[in-house]
Structure formats: structure tokens, C-alpha cells
Amino acid sequence: MLLLCFLQLFLASLAFVYFSKAFGGAYMKSSITQIERRFDIPSSLIGVIDGSFEMGNLLVIAFVSYFGAKLHRPRLIGIGCLIMAAGSFLIALPHFFQGPFKYETSLSHSNTDNSSESILPSCEKAAGSSMWIYVFLGNMLRGIGETPIMPLGISYLDDFSREENTPFYLVGILGPMFGFMLGSFLAKIYVDIGSVDLDTVTITYKDSRWVGAWWLGFIVTGTVILLSSIPFWFLPKSLPKQGQEQSKSKSTELSTVAEQENFLPEENQEHEDKEKPVTFKELAKDFIPSLKRLFKNGIYSLMVLTYLVVVNGFIGMITFKPKYLEQVYGQSASKAIFLIGILNLPAVALGIITGGFVLKRFKLGVIGAARVSFGASVASFCLLAAQIFINLVCKYPTLKSIDEGE
């Protein structure tokens, strides 16, 4: 009974932290264009800032995955949440150091009619403010803090729960959708709310010069991540395997009192041997050989390369698609972010839920799961490739009318 309570607590805590990290990550994506305008930096630099999350993740992922699996995993996840929260607060810090935002007043017209002609692509230029370094470092901290959540959380479930239940435990969380919804909402609120008289602001959120309250979202997401760390400090380092506890209790009931007295000291001795602490030197000694064995595995290496290709395409699309909708189709930042969140991310959540249900329902093994993944990837590629032709069809009448007008 106690085991079940701890597993349920860990599962609920892990679900909350998954929501929190996805919530913060999606909000970061939604605020990219706002940060670019606020600090007056080029798109190439904003790409580096956005990539700092992966930089921080790569710095420690191998060490955390290897050493963390042998240490107190729940507390390491809690520490990671604290680091992520600190990174979110650090990103918001420049707002309190900078003066009021000053937008250009020399533009002859604004984007009040949502027309694409009123938005011109930004040219490459030098960064207008060096405060972007706080955003870079804060996002890198977020990447470092997020590292233990996925590998240690999944391994903890796999070690102490029934194998057939694990896929259902990892049902997708709707954090990304809430993150984009928050980004869409805050994009309509002026960046200096609370410190300037809004009656003196002559532009609206539909104007291409508008900057929303991007910093406020990082305070919100940082607070949520901070709260998600609390339960992990009260979880034990290890638990008996789910199902083994009941079998042990049944076998104990069938044994006599004398047999129990003879058995328990031996069991305790074995338990003490298993719980004997391992020194850091002993752990580090096998680190490099373990990495070599891992990368000699052809299947693992192929999975890593596949994941790199998939994530590279998805991250690039989800990061710069709002800006593309703004500049090419003349949408406001708020509407572009809203469209990304309400259309793309529910489909991702549905795919995760469906995948977990299929694995659970048909009890698919490694080969079956690989086939499902391959089929979904092919279908995704075909649908994404179709966007190229749809874009050409939509643009052709416009281009043709321009040529005839000339």
C-alpha cells in the first residue's frame, strides 16, 4: 500500500514537472519575436539565444544520465527544477534593469489592418542592447536544469513499476499549448505595463513595433517550475519493484515464525550489501568505457541520428513560424502565437496519447514500437512536404496579379 502511494505521488509529481517544463519551453518559443524587438537584435543572434537551451542540455546530459541513475534520482530532479526556475527568473531580469521601451515614431503607417505590406523584413544589424546576454545565460540554465527530468524520471518508473504500465504513465502533457496561450495573451499587454501611462502609448498590439510583456511570462513559468520541485524532496531514493511487495507478503504469511526468524537476518544482510554506497571514484572509473560501449551499438547510434534530424526540423519550425506568419502574412504577434498553440500542439499531445494507448492496448514490444514510430514519421513527412505545394498554389495568384499590374 505504501509502495502504491509513493508511486502515485511520484507519477503525479512527474506529470506536473513535465507540464511545467513544457509550459516554460513553449513560452520561450512564443516570446522569441518579442525578445528580438525589445533588445533590437538580429534573427541570427536570436537563433543562438534560443539554441542556448540545447547547449546547456548537452553540457551535462551524459554526466547526469550516468551518475544520476546511481544517486538519489527524485532529489536530482528537484534540483533540476530549481535550476530551471532560476534560469526563468534570470531571463526576466533585464526588464528591471532597462529603461522604458522606446519604439520608432517615424513610420508612416502601422500594422493596424494586418496587411503584409505594412511589415518589412528586418535587416541584419548589430545588437541594440547587450542585456540579451542575461536571456542567453538564463536559457542555458533552463537547459541544464531540464536534463535530469526525462532520463531519471523514466528510469525511476521503469525500476519500480510494472513494465506494461510505464507507457501509460508517460501520457503527454498539455504544457506546450498553455505556454503558447500565455504567450498570445501577454503579447497583447504592453511591455512596460505598471511603469508607464498606457494612455501615452500610441500603437496597438497589431503594430509591427509593439512589444508585449514578455518578461512577465518568465516569472509565471519560473514560479510554476519552482512549485513542481517541492514533492521530489520527500520521495525515497528507491522502492521495491511493484508486484514484488505482494509476493513477498504472501510468502511470509505461509512461512512459520521460526522460519521468519531464521530468514530475516539473512535478508537484512543481503539488503545491506545491496545498499552499500558506491564512491564517486568507482562510478567515474567506468564512465568512458560505458560511453564507448554505448556508441558502438548500431541501433542506438541510428536512433540518435534519427532524433537529431526530427528535432532539428521541428524546433526550427516551431521557433520561427510565428515570425514567418507575422512578416509574410501580416498577422499580429498575438494571433501568430495563438495559431501555433491552438493548431499544432494539440496534435502533438494527441499523438503522444494515441501512441501510449496503442502500446498499452496491443502490448507492442521494441519491434512493434519501432514500426509504429516509422509509420508515424513517414506520414508526418508527407504532410509537411505537402505544405510546400500549398504555399506555392496560394502565392501564385498574388504573384501573377503583381506581374499583370506592372
Q: What is the pLDDT of residue 182?
A: 92
391 part of a folded domain: no
136 part of a folded domain: yes
The structural domain count of the chain equals 1
Rounded mean pLDDT of 308-312? 79
192 part of a folded domain: yes
The structure's pTM equals: 0.73
Question: Could you give the angle at which helices 345-362 and 366-405 cross, rounded to 10 degrees?
Answer: 160
186: which residues sit within 8 A by CB, 6+ positions away?
31, 212, 213, 214, 216, 217
94 part of a folded domain: yes
Give pairs for 331-336: CB < 8 Å, separation 24+.
331/114, 332/111, 332/114, 332/187, 332/205, 332/206, 332/210, 333/33, 333/34, 333/187, 333/205, 333/210, 333/212, 334/184, 334/185, 334/187, 334/188, 334/205, 334/212, 335/114, 335/184, 336/33
214 vs 234: CA distance, rounded Å? 34
pLDDT digits (tens, 9 = 90+) for 207-245: 888 899 999 999 999 999 999 999 888 888 776 665 555
387 part of a folded domain: no
232 part of a folded domain: yes
**pLDDT interval class at 325 (50, 70, 90):** confident
pLDDT digits (tens, 9 = 90+) for 247-281: 554 444 444 434 444 444 444 444 444 445 556 56
Contact 325, 331 (CB under 8 A): yes
CATH code: domain of residue 28: 1.20.1250.20
385 part of a folded domain: no
Window from 13-22, 155-164, 253-262 with minimum mean pLDDT: 253-262
Neighbours of 244 (CB within 10 A): 12
Structural domain of residue 189, as residue ranges?
2-101+127-242+287-363
Which phi and psi angles does 196 have, rounded to 5°?
A: -135, 160
122 vs 337: CA distance, rounded Å? 19
168 part of a folded domain: yes
